[in-house]
């Protein structure tokens, strides 16, 4: 989805959009950002602000993790909803 959004945002605004290998370059940038591996093909400085924001969101979601991010944004816990577990512990 991020690659499609990047291609949509950078459709005619970038000199990279006329390159025949633009899809592969955009896909590589998005996967690299999501995997937080630090690799790049050098197209990030030529992206628009919206394109850079898409890459930033990919980096953030890759670092935090999608399940952790979804759980954190799902809903705040309600007051009185915390239940502590109880157990008899044998000593000796």
Q: Is 52 helix (H, G, I), strand (E, B) or coil?
A: helix
Residue 1: C-alpha distances to residues 26, 52, 59, 74, 90 (Å)? 12, 15, 14, 20, 53
pTM score of the predicted model: 0.68
pLDDT band of residue 13 (cuts 50, 70, 90) is low
Instruction: Quick: pLDDT tens for 28-81.
Output: 999 999 998 888 888 888 888 999 999 999 999 888 887 887 887 787 767 777
Domain range summary for the chain, segments of one domain joined by +: 2-67
User: What's residue 22's pLDDT?
Assistant: 82
pLDDT of residue 12 exceeding 70, the answer is no
User: What's residue 28's pLDDT?
Assistant: 93
């Amino acid at each position: 989805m991020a690659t499609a959004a990047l291609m949509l945002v950078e459709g005619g605004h970038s000199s990279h959009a006329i390159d025949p290998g633009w899809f592969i370059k955009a896909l590589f940038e998005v996967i690299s950002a999501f995997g937080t591996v630090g690799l790049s093909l050098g197209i990030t400085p030529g992206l628009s602000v919206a394109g850079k924001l898409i890459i930033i969101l990919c980096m953030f979601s890759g670092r935090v993790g999608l399940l952790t991010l979804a759980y954190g944004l799902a809903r705040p816990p309600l007051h009185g909803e915390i239940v502590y577990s109880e157990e008899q512990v044998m000593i000796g």
